[in-house]
Amino acid sequence: MKENISIKLTTNKLRLQECIDFVQDNSCGGIATFVGTVRNHTKGKEVKQLEFSAYTSMAIKELQKIAEQALDEFDILKIAIHHAEGLLQIGEVPVIIAVSSVHRGASFKACEYAIDTLKETVPIWKKEYFKDGEVWVNAHP
């Protein structure tokens, strides 16, 4: 793994400060982050909890690709992408992305690129648990 990329897919609680500390650099002028949180509703139904499962080995490769593409495409210094696996409660954090850059515009663009791409390409699946059952999100497009 490159020195300017931190990738994690873990059943432990994600820690924002760890991502910030990783991307922080004395030559950086700003850090953009995205912190996903578990919403308590979806399409009007109350969500009780979520479960994330992954094709772990491939998911890590795809996360790594996103980080490398972000470094290629945007003028950024470092990037951290951490994603949770397993059961998450409302308000808990499934994903954290942090990006540092000398000039802030690049961090924002790279951060949004990373979360948008993650949601399209990384083999991770979310199951929503309702009072009356559970459903794989997006399973039937």
Residue 55: name its binding partner from another protein, a second copy, none (Cβ under 5 to 8 Å by kind): another protein
Q: Which residues, in sequence order, are CB contacts of 5 under 8 Å at separation 6+?
A: 64, 67, 68, 71, 78, 79, 80
Closest CB to a second copy among 29 and 55?
29
Residues at the interface with another protein (CB under 8 A): 36, 52-55, 57-59, 61, 83, 94-95, 115, 118-127, 136-141
d(CA 49, CA 122): 21
* Residue of 86, 75, 73 whose CA lies nearest to 127: 86
Shortest spacing between CB 116 and another protein, in angstroms: 9
What's phi and psi for 51, nearest 5 deg? -130, 130
Shortest spacing between CB 57 and a second copy, in angstroms: 27
Residue 58: name its binding partner from another protein, a second copy, none (Cβ under 5 to 8 Å by kind): another protein
